[in-house]
Amino acid sequence: LSLVIEPPRNAAGQILPISPLDLPTLLTVGANGLETGVAVQPDGTVQLAESGTAIPTDAGTVIASGSLDVSGNVGGEVNVLGDRVGVIGVNVNASGLNGGGNVRIGGDYQGQGTVPNAGVTFVDGNSVIGADALSNGDGGQVIIWSDETTRIYGNINARGGNNSGDGGFVEVSGKEALAFSGSVDVSAVNGQDGTILLDPRDIIIEPDDGVADDNGQISPGVDEQILFNDGGNAVDFAIDDTALTALTGNIILQAQQDIIVQAGTNLNFTNQTFGETISFEAGRAIQINSRLTTAGGSVELTATTGGIVFDSINTGVNTGNAGSVTLQAAGDITTTGNFLVDLIDPDNISAGVTDTANASIRASVGVNGSGNGGQISLTSTNGSIDTSSGDILSVTPDGMGGAVALQAGGDITVKSIGSYVNPTGDTGSITLQAGGNITTTGRLGQNGEGTLISTTRTGNGGQISLTSTTGSIDTSSGEIRAFATDGNGGAIALLAAGEINTAQVDASATSGNGGSITFSGANEINTAQLDASAVSGNGGTISFSDVGDINTAQIDVSAVSGNGGTISFSDVGDINTAQIDVSAVSGNGGTISFSDVGDIDTAQIDASATSGNGGAIALSAGGDINTAQIDTSSASSGSNGDGGDVTLDAQGDVQVTSINAQGGDSGTGGDVDITTEQFFRTIGTFTDQNLTDASISTAGGNDGGSITIRHGGGAVDTPFDVGDATTNGTAGAITTGTDNSILPPQSFPGSFSQGTPPSDIQIITQDSNGNGGQNGNGGINGNGGINGNGGMNGNGGMNGDEEQPPPREEAPNSLFSGEPDNIQSTTLDDIRAQLRAIEQNTGAKPALIYVSFSPRGLSQEAWEQRFSSPDSDIEESQLLSYAQGEAQENPLWVKPNPQDQLELVMVTSQKSIPIRRIPPNVTYQEVRESAELFYKEVFEPPAPKELAGSDRDVELFNLAHQFYEWLISPLEEYLIENEITNLVFVMDKSLPTVPLAALHDGEKFIVEKYSVGLMPSMSLTDTRYVNIRDTQVLAMGAEEFANEDLGTLETVPEQIEQISKVWSGQFFENDQDLTIENLKSQRRERPFGILHLSTHGEFDSDSPDNSYIQFFGNERLRFYEIRQLGFHNPSLELLVLSACRTALGDVDEELGFAGFAHRAGVKSVLASLWEVNEVATLGLMTQFYRQLRQPDTIKADALRQAQVAMIEGKIKIENGQLSFAPALGESVPLPEDLNIPELELWHPYYWAGFTVVGNPW
């Protein structure tokens, strides 16, 4: 037996002299004055002299007592290790002037590391373990561990330095069982407090009942039964609340299984302030049966595989910042009851004052304090969240409200949530995301504010977002508020797959701008009052998008000093609202837009302005429209403002109380445009500025607005009565001013017009034979359709009779079908009116060119005589039959004979005889053969640049010039004379492949002079112009395909990326997102006006039903399946088929996919005639979408400008990218593995294949 010690040394490092004793003497006699601390008992055992603790003789047992000092400049290291470790009456000093040391008793951090772990570790109440930094530096690390049972009753310190430094780290743990009744201090005077970790298998926190702990010796049998202040119950880890809440610093309770807080426990952590955290981390579940409070410290609860049940959490303070609250669980999160919240550290508040807010989670600042509210986050991955028994608050009087976020895989049920500021500062956001339902159960008690609150006085209202991916949202028990007094109102958004039901929703502002309120649902939406109004700023926006019914109370986005806001509805159910107000006092009235497949029923609609211009109101319904008073006036005395426009369009009846669109004393009245396929009624009157008892007035001091009423009474012999609104008419006068009024009583069985544009009055209807009214003159529109389009059945309205879509889809073109067509066509007058409307709306000057073949025909003299009558009622379907020498009621398309002559008929907006030209000696056989050759030459890739001018190119340009001479030159003088800019071809269906964009006059391609489009006929085309620049895009595409025969489209992601840079919408670049179901789903959720598909496509002329557009995997959209996509409901403004051969057709299926999609309800289709070059398509599509965003650019002209840019070399391939001239925008990178050499894209092969089918405007 030997003992080796380091001898003492002097300052110079020399060994000092000592008088050593031998080991036997030390162990038996001892040195003079030396106290060994042990005593031999009569039974031969040895015990510590002072404590009387017996020294065990079992192997592996270690007892430490007395003083262990490794202090110094930086604390040293102390290790007390063994199988059974006892620390009894010991003073461990591992402190240092500039940093604490390391102490390991029973093992290392969480039993890891290389040192041996104790089975049992015991620290008695007389022991002190220190690893402080005394002056500077951080506190040290103290680990007390055992693999089985640990009991600790002593004091542990790992404090930061007095001058600087953070607190240290202390872990107290028994892997299976732990008893703790000691104290731990990891504080720091001038730094951040340290961390305390307690991490046994299970944790139970119980009340301190004052019963002394069993401080007996460590002995076999107590490993699984730690007797604590509970009278001897066996637990894994029990700690009383007094010991736990006395701890300083960050506290982590980490249990392998469960954490349970017993009822009656007081978890008031007064030592944990802002910046410090109390963390409960359980491998299974957490159950807290009492309230948990901090003095501003944060609270984090994590249940890895189970749920969380808690009574209440409060991290609020009176002055300073409140801590955050974060709850994460795989299972449910649930609160259990209400309670009173004590204000902690009540600065300027008498002690004992309580706040009766009944809050279950509170991270707030007291009523007279300052600071920021804390953040609150609850996440239940697979379960639900239920805080319905209490409130969630992050409130402050003078700071920033904290954000509140709840996310659950299941339902979310809350009583109320508040993140608000009173009076100053910005509020925090409130976000609820649930896989199931979202429900609020109560009303917030404090100030009666509401259920969900993110409000402020001088800051901005916060964002409130509720999303239920598969369930419903119900906040009908309390309000949603994001208002602001001096700032801007917040943004409120509710999105649900099921129903949405709300109480009042408020995003208003007093001095700032009103906020936004958005509803998006796939089922019924029911709301109480909606308010995004403003006093000094502008009114906000309120929007609905839904596929069910929408029912609302009053809607207010009005403004006093600013402009009124915007209200928009898009719905496929019915819309029912109370009063709607977008009015303004000093500014301009706002705008209201309803687009609905069902009925619209509203109370008063007010878009008036006292000093500014009235706003615009547009309601469109597939059913009836029923409203109270409609007011878009600016008719106050002395006003210079104009009245706003009113547009009502319904397939059913339209009934209003009155329409006031008057302008001010120096203003102009707004235009009123009514379209109904049934009856129109205004059942009330008002006194206008000229003292006329009017039902409709557009009078203005400067000029009146126009009034147009299109109704279906004429078709059923029901007159329009001014003075009788019982069935079809107005109760009072219709007036645009003192010089143009229709005063009651008057009756109009047919169409009627009065006054001079732009202040005219028109009543338009059909007679019982479907023709236009009195004297055969259908007014401007004849058949009464919007912009003159009478639809297929002459009933007016877009696409004819929307209630009977099958005839629309099944009926082929009247002019070019291979079977009879009994559907009435648009008249010549209608066509002219439609073209005039396009000119007025777009600035384009269109001409319609019919290309056909005839064996015989009227002489030119007979032709001119036939069309010379000013009241001509020639229908479009008869234009060519008259040209062929006879008028047929239902002409059939018959394949021309080889020697039939080419014939051209051109119609413009002018009231003149249609231009008819027959190029001499041009037969069907010659044109047909040349068309096939022309197509073959142009769709083959061109020769390299150095071989340009080859025989094939010469042949191509000869054919391009020949077709220009046949189709354009005979009409060109008239095109120039009428300043035509847009050519719309209605081609004989035997010519489906003529690449019209490639026609060449010898100097220029046709697209360098005119924009070009294809149309089956005017009768089958919805010609209403819609400005699509604010329309959203749904873009989808695929790069790789399951069928290896389909090549990879490497530029598709870049194509979609470029579209997303200039348009808003939804963009899918991943191959697996290109599915028919995803397309349908996206269209159901949002009525996208533009659909872009980047993929492969093929038209099979031998078997059209085998034609397809390729989707992900092996999924293909067949020719006959297009109708099932519901493009007519809601109407699709533009379909872009960035795919091969989608505009190619044959005699039976004219214009291929494009023509069929057009007949299925798509207004315009951009498609290709041949297999287009991938990189060139990227350039053309990029420029097309850029141009389409420009003001006053029609679809055909956007395509033309993209094509011209390629002709002029402004889009080309160079330096590994698609280069754009600087004026056109940024260049586009290309995938590196394409390895495409520099290439000019001027050849028509690259751009002429794409054409616009349907409405080119």
All structural domains of the chain: 59-237 (2.160.20.10), 278-410 (no CATH), 414-532 (no CATH), 581-779 (no CATH), 1033-1254 (3.40.50)
Cα(first)–Cα(last) distance of the chain, in Å?
106
Quote the CA–CA distance of 842 and 150 in Å, as a whole number.
85
The whole-number pLDDT of residue 169 equals 96
Cβ proximity of 800 and 791 under 8 Å: yes
Smallest CA-to-CA distance from 1208 within 1196, 1199, 1221, 1217 is with 1221
Quote the CA–CA distance of 107 and 1254 in Å, as a whole number.
81
DSSP string, 71-93: -BSS--EEEE-SSEEEEEEEEEE
What is the DSSP-derived secondary structure letter of residue 133? B
Q: Whole-model pTM?
A: 0.56
Number of H helices, E strands in the chain: 14, 92
The whole-number pLDDT of residue 338 equals 39
Cβ proximity of 900 and 885 under 8 Å: no
Q: Is 1141 left (phi over 0), alpha (psi -120 to 50) or beta?
A: left
Q: Is 210 left (phi over 0), alpha (psi -120 to 50) or beta?
A: left
Instruction: Using alpha carbons only, give the angle 520, 449, 426 rounded to the nearest 5 degrees.
Output: 75
The whole-number pLDDT of residue 499 equals 94
Chain segment 142-201, per-residue pLDDT in tens: 999 999 888 888 999 999 999 999 999 999 988 888 888 788 999 999 999 999 998 888
The whole-number pLDDT of residue 560 equals 94
Q: Which two tokens stand for residue 1059?
A: 């579209």
Place of tokens 């982590």: 252
Smallest CA-to-CA distance from 681 within 715, 714, 654, 660 is with 654
Helix (H, G, I), strand (E, B) or coil at 1016: coil
The whole-number pLDDT of residue 952 equals 62
The whole-number pLDDT of residue 447 equals 33
Chain segment 1019-1077, per-residue pLDDT in tens: 778 888 888 887 899 999 998 888 877 888 889 999 999 999 999 999 998 889 999 99
The whole-number pLDDT of residue 793 equals 31
The whole-number pLDDT of residue 353 equals 22
Cβ proximity of 468 and 436 under 8 Å: yes
Quote the CA–CA distance of 1116 and 1113 in Å, as a whole number.
9
The whole-number pLDDT of residue 891 equals 42
Quote the CA–CA distance of 363 and 739 in Å, as a whole number.
68
Quote the CA–CA distance of 813 and 495 in Å, as a whole number.
42
Q: Chunk the chain into consecutive blocks of 10 residues (it has 1257) and report each block's average pLDDT, rounded to whole numbers.
A: 60 67 57 54 61 64 90 95 92 96 96 92 94 96 93 93 95 85 90 89 79 34 27 51 83 90 88 86 91 87 89 76 82 64 26 29 42 71 83 64 83 80 64 92 47 59 87 91 83 92 92 92 92 93 91 96 94 92 95 92 96 95 95 82 95 96 93 95 95 95 94 89 96 95 94 90 71 34 30 32 32 30 61 87 92 72 63 62 45 68 90 85 92 86 55 82 96 93 89 88 95 84 82 91 83 93 91 91 86 84 74 83 75 82 48 63 84 88 93 93 95 91 90 83 91 90
Q: Which two tokens stand for residue 663?
A: 């302008």
Count how many Cα atoms sit within 13 Å of the Cα of residue 634 in the half-sphere of its side chain.
37
- Which residue type sits at 430? I
DSSP string, 684-698: --EE-TTS-EEEEE-
Cβ proximity of 493 and 502 under 8 Å: no
